[in-house]
């Protein structure tokens, strides 16, 4: 099971009942953060999520409402006993921004691995030292992270993250292929092994593929045709809905954001299972008032709010 928690659902500036953009994903005791707007630390405490086990931070772009919470969060992570490296991913320019932000604080007790303008298919593995980038393409692709370039007023990227599932161990297959028992565990983990002059492959002990889970995170952009392909078959599509009213389309175009119905059209064209709308304008006091503008295009829509938690389970 994977848990997605909306920490901040606002855009522009924090409001009394709405922190700025931030999403937390909990996976097997580890955490992945998407954006880190002002208020993220408080939001983490409100949902009783610790700081120490955040291994990956994905930044969509460097506007303040998506990144100004980062210096304080990194400092608190250090004060919480974090010593393992932290991966920070972001668009062009993220390295300089991170350097400038970190220069405002005392030295951190952990290394920052900054990945600027990441390419597709970055693989992470859940290890005893947290979520770490795979060193070899032959490693089991446990978590696959992809990015897409968006259309905003500054370099901006969207993310998709796919949590794969290992194939089940097939005892009959292992016996039929005469695989020694001492190799079963390593083969099940995706390793190929030469043993007593014979090559043993994972396929010799594993059953059929199983469905994984895909979560996509798109914010601060105009709708682009390529987004539908990028989010295709997402179990959860988290998308900005800065403007609920369709009459605000001129503002959306001018500020390079989206309306509810534009986000819903992406969800429909992307064949996703659920759309979660977030990143609401400060003028959008009651997003539920405009929910039907999205539901008339795509039925399974949820309006995000700070603290909203959703559990995603694998399907057979």
In this predicted structure, what is the pLDDT of residue 300?
A: 98
Shared-domain flag, residues 16 and 74: yes
In a domain, 176, yes or no: yes
Shared-domain flag, residues 237 and 175: no
Give the DSSP per-residue string, the chain.
Answer: -EEEEEEE-B-SS-BTTB-BSEEEEEETTEEEEE---TTHHHHHHHTT--STTEEEEE-S--SHHHHTTHHHHHHHHHHTT--S-EEEEESTTHHHHHHHHHTTSPPPSS-EEEEES--S-EEEEEETTEEEE-SSTTS---EEEEEEE--SSS--EEEEEEE--PPPB-HHHHHHTT--HHHHHHHHTT--EEETTEEE-GGGTB------EEEEEE-SS---HHHHHHTTT-SEEEEE--B-SGGGHHHHHHHT--BHHHHHHHHHHTT-S-EEEE-B-TT-S-GGGGHHHHHTT-S-EEE--TT-EEEE----
Shared-domain flag, residues 186 and 134: no
Domain-ending residue, one of 204, 224, 254: 204
In a domain, 314, yes or no: no
In this predicted structure, what is the pLDDT of residue 172?
A: 87
In a domain, 102, yes or no: yes
Shared-domain flag, residues 178 and 159: no
Average pLDDT value over all residues in the chain: 94
In this predicted structure, what is the pLDDT of residue 187?
A: 86
Domain count, the chain: 2
Residue 298 above 90 pLDDT?
yes
Shared-domain flag, residues 190 and 256: no
Domain-ending residue, one of 151, 181, 204: 204
In this predicted structure, what is the pLDDT of residue 186?
A: 84
Shared-domain flag, residues 183 and 225: no
Shared-domain flag, residues 16 and 108: yes
| Enzyme catalytic residues | 65
**Lowest mean pLDDT: which of 44-48, 157-161, 178-182?**
178-182
In a domain, 115, yes or no: yes
Shared-domain flag, residues 66 and 158: yes
The string of pLDDT tens digits covering residues 36-46 is 999 999 999 99
The string of pLDDT tens digits covering residues 202-236 is 889 888 888 899 999 999 999 999 999 999 999 99
Shared-domain flag, residues 195 and 75: no
Range of the domain at 185: 171-204
Instruction: Tell me what the mean pLDDT of segment 282-311 comes to.
Output: 97
Shared-domain flag, residues 195 and 281: no
Shared-domain flag, residues 194 and 244: no
The string of pLDDT tens digits covering residues 116-138 is 999 888 999 999 999 999 876 65
């Amino acid at each position: 099971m994977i848990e997605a928690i909306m920490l901040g659902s606002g855009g522009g500036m924090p409001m009394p009942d709405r922190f700025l953009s931030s999403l937390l994903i909990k996976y097997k005791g580890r955490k992945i953060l998407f954006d880190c707007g002002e208020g993220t630390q408080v939001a983490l405490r409100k949902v009783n999520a610790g700081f120490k086990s955040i291994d990956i931070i994905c930044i969509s772009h460097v506007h303040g409402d998506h990144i100004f919470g980062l210096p304080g969060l990194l400092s608190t992570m250090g004060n919480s006993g974090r010593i393992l490296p932290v991966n920070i991913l972001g668009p062009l320019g993220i390295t300089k921004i991170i350097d400038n932000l970190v220069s405002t604080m005392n030295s951190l007790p952990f290394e920052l691995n900054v990945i600027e303008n990441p390419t597709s298919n970055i693989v992470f593995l859940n290890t005893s030292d947290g979520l770490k980038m795979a060193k070899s393409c032959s490693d089991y692709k446990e978590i696959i992270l992809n990015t897409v370039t968006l259309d905003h007023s500054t370099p901006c990227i969207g993310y998709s993250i796919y949590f794969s599932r290992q194939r089940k161990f097939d005892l009959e297959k292992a016996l039929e292929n005469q695989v020694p028992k001492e190799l079963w565990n390593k083969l099940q983990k995706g390793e190929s092994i030469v043993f007593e002059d014979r090559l043993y492959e994972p396929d010799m002990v594993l059953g059929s593929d199983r469905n994984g889970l895909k979560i996509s995170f798109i914010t601060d952009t105009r709708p682009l045709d390529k987004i539908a392909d990028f989010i295709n078959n997402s179990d959860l599509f988290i998308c900005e809905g800065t403007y609920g009213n369709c009459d605000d389309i001129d503002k959306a175009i001018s500020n390079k954001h989206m309306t509810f119905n534009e986000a819903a059209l992406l969800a429909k064209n992307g064949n996703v299972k659920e759309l979660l709308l977030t990143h609401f304008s400060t003028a959008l006091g009651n997003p539920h008032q405009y929910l039907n503008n999205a539901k008339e295009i795509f039925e399974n829509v949820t309006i995000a709010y700070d603290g909203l938690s959703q559990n995603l389970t694998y399907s057979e």
